[in-house]
Structure 1
Amino acid sequence: MATLGFRYRNFKLEGSSFTGREPDEQRYDFDKPRFDSRAVRFTFNPTTQWSLQASTAYVKSPESGEPDEDVYRTTASVLYGKELSGNNRFLTAILNWGYNYVDQDHQEHSVLLESTLQSDKFAVYGRYEWLQKSAEELGFEHDFFEHDAIFGINALTVGANRQLFEFGTVNTTLGAQVSVFRGAHELHPYYGSLPVSAQVYLRIFPTVMVPK
């Protein structure tokens, strides 16, 4: 990817050129850079707590299974972050919208709303997602649904994690989360009306780097 940007006060404008095709299954080599896709992103930070961005992109042939399909992608997001009084506490939230356009019969929207309350070593978070998927992307044959049939899918996740220890510049956190899903009624015979999943995870990541 190559990016060129311009910043003036609280405004930033960036343009990028990149390879649109997703990486192939050969994970031990480098894919050929094509620079056949492009994107423009505009960011505005009205205060230290708010950040707004909008972007649009042309993605050349992203899927190897559909080499003739190009995607026009648009996103917009609002990010909020605030330091709360006492015990190193922070509240962050994001609202994000995305839109993919392939042709008149293949258009998909998505919405993400997520918030986290972080204390010194403990965090709780929630996330709501709504997106549209085609029957083809869900793996259905044409005998089940039309090729371009679009379905809305909802997901609600709540979770918590706690820092276990720091080892040098590495942080270790243990967490758990539960997700509840609700798809279009046409999908209920295949996925159920209200699928539930749960996860327990161990996260290992670098600690915050403080300049000396």
Structure 2
Amino acid sequence: MVHATMSQPQADHSTMDHAAMDHDAMDHATMQPPAADHAQMDHSSMDHMQMDPSQMDHPATQDPDMGAMRMPMPGMSHDGAMRGAFGPYRGTRESSGTAWQPDASMHEGLHAMRGDWMLMAHGALNMVYDHQSGKRGDTGTFASGMLMGMAQRPLGNGTLQFKAMLSPDPLMGPRGYPLLLASGETANGVERLVDRQHPHDFFMELAASVSQNIGAKSSVFVYAGLPGEPAFGPPAFMHREAIMDSPEAPITHHWLDSTHISMGVLTAGVVVDRAKLEVSRFNAREPDQHRWNIETGALDSTAVRASWNPTASLALQGSWGNFKDPEQLEPGVNQKRLSASALYAREVAPGVMVAGTLAWGRKSIDHDGEQTNDDAFAAEASLKHGEWTVFGRGETTENRELVESAGAHGPAYTVSKMSLGVVRDFKVAQHLSLGAGGLFAVNFIPDSLRDAYGSNHPLGAMAFVRLKLD
């Protein structure tokens, strides 16, 4: 990776007013030089940037060869990394919606400057062959992935940002793809998908945000999306570094992060150094059977999330949500949800990146005067070295949707899944990789469901190829 930097003429330190320096905000004394003429810059080195964790808390660094300070360009922090949209920190802290991930996370994608605008593009397209065994299993081929674009620029003493994310998932059709133990949501408006994963909407995010700094390490921000992601749960699964290379959706999706496509979101938050508190009003109803359009609805649901990144390698969050009428096939049935998660990312050796996720979610549903509380747990991990990535996930859910009943929900069955996969990327162009990989999954079914599934341990497997912008 290349860090885009610009060297300015060396400052005359003899005339500096050292009393005016903010030593809490800087590890090295810096002096702001005259503004650069960005129209004359050579941006060829800015196509691809990644954070250098060793400079995590250095808002400015010195070039030992030139004796000059490396100063920020618009859209960048003092050490050449993209700056955060919601506060005065590195952009590597930000993930899907307004969620945080570890500061040391990788940020793949294409970056470029156009005047004061910092532009970024990132995407991956998977073609997957999927086989799920047993009586409820099936075989199919599907396309999945995303294409994301972002543009940000300084605004006042903060940042203005626009984001868009698109998905090929609607091409799957209303049946989605086979995935044992997955449930939740309908894609045809008539029946719930069980043992299948639903397709996401074509428009996964169309959002704008604006932030203003209120101190050296603090800010306030507003985020709005149609669709967008409210302040609930960890980052969406396709953005979590520990598992983003897997083409398989988690069975914990509807406990942890199914709100990542909400048709109407307004979030306000405050950042104080490494902590963030935010509140969302949003439309909690799951997307309907029309997966190519944009829907609207009342912002009648609420979520609150507290986030804390105590170190560069760790991101913690706890959140609560009151979801009004979320399920299309269960009108009038509301939910309350709780979530807590810890995300980890660290370069443990040169070129070796380790990432992990621990997450818990609870759904509380009041149906006909009876409240149920169902939990889900997920653990994810990945190891990246060069062009190889190994990834795995373990999950457990208390699921009431696996068996039809006279009411909307049946009894809760505790089911689990473990999967392990690998992918190898091959460079085919300067910013394009072709990957080939596969995964193997084992499902754990209680005896009470053995007849329905044909086994206590039905298996699943996927083979896939992908194209990735990097």
TM-score, normalised with respect to structure 1: 0.89
- Aligned pair partner of 1:133 in 374, 399, 402: 399
Q: Is the 8 A contact 1:165 1:171 kept in 2?
A: yes
Following the alignment from structure 1 to structure 2, what is the Cα–Cα distance between the partners of residues 125 and 14?
31
Change (3 A) 1:166 1:39: farther
**Residue 2 of structure 1 aligns with which residue?**
266
**Residue 10 of structure 2 aligns with which residue?**
none
- Aligned pair partner of 1:172 in 429, 434, 439: 434
Following the alignment from structure 2 to structure 1, what is the Cα–Cα distance between the partners of residues 409 and 291?
31
Q: In structure 2, the residue corresponding to 1:190 is in which secondary structure?
A: helix
Following the alignment from structure 2 to structure 1, what is the Cα–Cα distance between the partners of residues 448 and 408?
12
Q: Is the 8 A contact 1:20 1:37 kept in 2?
A: yes
Residue identity matched to 1:58: N
Offset of residue 33 of structure 1: 3.0
Q: Is the 8 A contact 1:114 1:127 kept in 2?
A: yes
Following the alignment from structure 2 to structure 1, what is the Cα–Cα distance between the partners of residues 442 and 304?
35
- Aligned pair partner of 1:108 in 374, 379, 390: 374
Q: Is the 8 A contact 1:57 1:72 kept in 2?
A: yes
Following the alignment from structure 1 to structure 2, what is the Cα–Cα distance between the partners of residues 179 and 187?
18
Residue identity matched to 1:163: D
Offset of residue 29 of structure 1: 2.6
Offset of residue 80 of structure 1: 1.1
Following the alignment from structure 1 to structure 2, what is the Cα–Cα distance between the partners of residues 183 and 175?
27
Q: Is the 8 A contact 1:22 1:64 kept in 2?
A: yes
Q: In structure 2, the residue corresponding to 1:46 is in which secondary structure?
A: strand
Residue identity matched to 2:415: I
Residue identity matched to 1:198: A
Following the alignment from structure 1 to structure 2, what is the Cα–Cα distance between the partners of residues 188 and 126?
25
Q: Is the 8 A contact 1:51 1:78 kept in 2?
A: yes
Following the alignment from structure 1 to structure 2, what is the Cα–Cα distance between the partners of residues 94 and 162?
22
Matching of residues 1-212 of structure 1 within 5 Å: 1-86=265-350, 88-103=351-366, 104-134=370-400, 137-142=401-406, 147-191=409-453, 192-207=455-470
Q: In proportion to residue count, which structure has more strand?
A: 1
Residue identity matched to 1:157: S
Flag the structure with larger Rg: 2
Unaligned runs of 5+ in 2: 1-264
Residue identity matched to 2:449: L
Offset of residue 173 of structure 1: 1.7
TM-score, normalised with respect to structure 2: 0.41
Q: In structure 2, the residue corresponding to 1:193 is in which secondary structure?
A: coil
Following the alignment from structure 2 to structure 1, what is the Cα–Cα distance between the partners of residues 359 and 330?
27
Offset of residue 139 of structure 1: 4.1
**Residue 56 of structure 2 aligns with which residue?**
none
Offset of residue 34 of structure 1: 1.6
Q: In structure 1, the residue corresponding to 2:380 is in which secondary structure?
A: strand
Q: In structure 2, the residue corresponding to 1:78 is in which secondary structure?
A: strand
**Residue 210 of structure 1 aligns with which residue?**
none
Q: Is the 8 A contact 1:69 1:102 kept in 2?
A: yes
Unaligned runs of 5+ in 1: 208-212
Q: Indicate the larger mover: 27-36 or 16-25.
A: 27-36
Q: In structure 1, the residue corresponding to 2:310 is in which secondary structure?
A: coil
- Offset from partner CA, 1:134-178 (integer Å, 9 cap, x none): 1xx124244xx9954100011010111111224343333211000
Q: In structure 2, the residue corresponding to 1:188 is in which secondary structure?
A: helix
Offset of residue 185 of structure 1: 1.6
Identity of counterpart residues, as a percentage? 28
Q: Is the 8 A contact 1:106 1:148 kept in 2?
A: no
Q: In structure 2, the residue corresponding to 1:100 is in which secondary structure?
A: strand
Following the alignment from structure 1 to structure 2, what is the Cα–Cα distance between the partners of residues 166 and 77?
36
Following the alignment from structure 1 to structure 2, what is the Cα–Cα distance between the partners of residues 125 and 147?
33
Following the alignment from structure 2 to structure 1, what is the Cα–Cα distance between the partners of residues 315 and 296?
34
Following the alignment from structure 1 to structure 2, what is the Cα–Cα distance between the partners of residues 158 and 179?
7
